[in-house]
Amino acid sequence: MKSDSGSLSSTEKALKILMSFTPNNHETGTLELSKKLDIHKSTVSRLLHLLTNHDFLHQNPETKKYMLGRSAAEIGNAVIRSLNNSIADIARPFLNKLSQNTGESVALEMVSGNNVILACQVEGQRHLRFSFELGEQVPVNVTAGAKTILAFSNKEFVEQCLKQKFTRFNSNTIISKKEYRKLLEEIRKTGIAYDKGERYEGTHAIAAPVFNHEKVPVAAVVIAGPAFRMTQEFLNNVIEPLKKTSAEISKRLFY
């Protein structure tokens, strides 16, 4: 006989039933749910009817089994829409902390359609701070954030971005699409991208990608500053906190 999951309330049991359909939403029957969740069959049956009446579950009329329904989908869609619209707000506290810990300016580069834009910035506290132009569409061949986003993006998005002509800003700029593709392969191995004076010779930057719930890179955390401070030693030392920051933001996006 089922223990009815101990002292769980009806609300907790209903939530357990709903969560049992994640992540793949496979059709499941009453008896199977009862065994899986260790809840008495009569209780499961009652809660299934309740959840179905409110469209959180849908019952297949032929198999009599259940799947997540319209109300569950609407809640999920609402969460995803809110996340997509507030990535910069979600990221800001983490960017603030990273800037305080490193002393340098920190920014969030974000995917917008088939482009990458500067979406958020925190200016560093040190002399000669690096300031970003919010909303600017960044050239993907030079900025560290765009590179790390493209490195982990699907082929279609990469090809769309590579249709644009690469602008040469100085002798450090990559303008060869072949060379750029090889660079993306290297970035996929390390999870880190650099801009070592490729747009502005006196500025260096380092970036790590931010992923959403679909494991898609939607943004990148960037640390930028004057080249004389952004030495290789400095860059090596900030890799761990940079990756930690991007991972924390990704976690808030349900990655």
pLDDT tens for each residue of 150-190: 999 999 999 988 988 899 999 999 999 999 999 999 999 99
Domain covering 86-252 assigned CATH 3.40.50.720 in the classification: no
Which residues of the chain form CATH 3.30.450.40? 86-252
Give bridge partners of residue 221 from the DSSP assignment: 108, 208
- Which 3 state secondary structure label does DSSP give 16? helix
> Confidence band (pLDDT; 50, 70, 90) for 1?
very low
**How many helices and strands in the chain, by DSSP H and E?**
9, 7
- Which 3 state secondary structure label does DSSP give 214? coil
Q: What is the mean pLDDT of the chain?
A: 88
- pLDDT tens column, 88-126: 889 999 999 999 999 999 999 988 777 788 888 888 876
In total, the chain counts a number of residues equal to 255
Looking at residue 190, what is its pLDDT? 96
55, 71 Cβ separation under 8 angstroms: yes
Q: Which residues contact 253 (CB under 8 A, 6 or more apart)?
A: 83, 87, 90, 210, 211, 212, 213, 218
The DSSP code sequence of 103-169 is: SSEEEEEEEETTEEEEEEEE--SSSS-----TTPBPPTTT-HHHHHHHHTS-HHHHHHHTTSPPPP-
- pLDDT tens column, 123-138: 887 655 555 666 778 8
132, 109 Cβ separation under 8 angstroms: no
> Confidence band (pLDDT; 50, 70, 90) for 58?
very high
Looking at residue 2, what is its pLDDT? 46
Amino acid at site 54? H
Which residues of the chain form CATH 1.10.10.10? 10-79
Domain covering 10-79 assigned CATH 1.10.10.10 in the classification: yes
Strand-by-strand arrangement of the 105-112 sheet:
115-122, 105-112, 217-226, 203-211, 193-196
| Pairwise CA distance, residues 68 & 194, whole Å | 44
Q: Which pTM does this prediction carry?
A: 0.74
Nearest to 99 by CA among 129, 134, 138, 64: 129
